[in-house]
Amino acid sequence: KMSLQQYTSIITGGAAGLGRSMASALAEMGSNLVIVDLNRNKADRAAEELREQFGVQVYVMEANVCSPEDALRVQEETVREFGRIDVLINNAGIVKNAKAEDTSYQDWLDVMNVNLNGVFLMSQAVGREMIRQRKGSIINISSMSGIIVNTPQCQIAYNVSKAGVISLTKTLAAEWAPYGIRVNTIAPGYMKTELTEKFFLEGGQLIDRWMSMTPMGRPGVPDELQGIAVYLASEASSYTTGSVFSVDGGYTAW
């Protein structure tokens, strides 16, 4: 039931970090991939490695998830290349840290655009195809910051965007269940990637505090999302929709 043979999976932000790791897990289970990323070079390198390691087809698209035209292009080119879309992982995301009173409207818009509007646009474009197919699995990457307000850093736009992703997930799950489309969210805690690297380095102060708030006492590594990604992509999760899965070393549990 975990097999992804004959599957086509789109992963946004698949060139780096958590997206790259989930891409690898899906390829290992046999899925062909479409890697969507702003960074063409990195995506090309990832694709090359994945083809070589797992023998699957990997198609790279330089695209911006918050452009309606790009979202449509991703759906159309994927269908042209592979004939169908089984899985969409909405993973691309950015973060900007500032106190609420100092957050510029432009920063607010930038974060909302990628983290929330991008998830809507990609889900809508790909969802229309999945509705035609009467089958599909959409996996949205939220964050523990969409569940709790994480301190001491201030990131109002990020928190709100990630909370929005959870509501978007539940709404789509309810609307699209009759079409055989499942929509779920993964809410990771601290995982060491380029996005969070700078926080790990800042004099150790932030990371020490975060780890003191994490029952498991350590950050996660990207590969620790692989199991849940394969589960949600595959038929193993055939009765699972509208759910939020925390992968955070227990951070949101206490």
Nearer to ligand NAD, 179 or 199 (CB): 199
Nearer to ligand NAD, 26 or 66 (CB): 66
161-180 residues near ligand NAD, rule: CB under 6 A: none
Q: In what order do the strands lie in the sheet with 136-141?
A: 58-62, 32-37, 8-12, 87-90, 136-141, 181-188, 244-247
Considering the rule CB under 6 A, would residue 150 count as an interface residue with ligand NAD? no
* Residue among 31, 143, 145, 246 flagged as catalytic: 143
Among 9, 12, 31, 32, binds ligand NAD (CB under 6 A): 12
143 belongs to the catalytic site = yes
- Shortest Cβ distance from residue 9 to ligand NAD (Å)? 16
Q: Compute the distance between CA of residue 105 and CA of residue 238 in angstroms, rounded to an integer.
A: 41
Considering the rule CB under 6 A, would residue 194 count as an interface residue with ligand NAD? yes
Tell me which long-range contacts 64-67 makes (C-beta under 8 A, separation of at least 24): 64/38, 64/118, 65/12, 65/13, 65/36, 65/90, 65/92, 65/114, 65/118, 65/119, 65/121, 65/122, 66/113, 66/114, 66/117, 66/118, 66/121, 67/121
- Residue with tokens 């799950």, as numbered in its chain: 173
Q: How far is CA 98 from CA 57, 102, 148, in A?
A: 41, 6, 17
| Site map 59..98 versus ligand NAD, x via CB under 6 A | -----xxx------------------------xxxx----
* Residue among 7, 123, 162, 231 flagged as catalytic: 162
Considering the rule CB under 6 A, would residue 190 count as an interface residue with ligand NAD? yes
Helix H or strand E encompassing 136 = strand 136-141
Considering the rule CB under 6 A, would residue 13 count as an interface residue with ligand NAD? yes
Q: Rule CB under 6 A: which residues touch ligand NAD?
A: 12-13, 15-19, 36-39, 42, 64-66, 91-94, 114, 118, 141, 143, 188, 190-191, 193-196
Positions marked active-site:
143, 158, 162
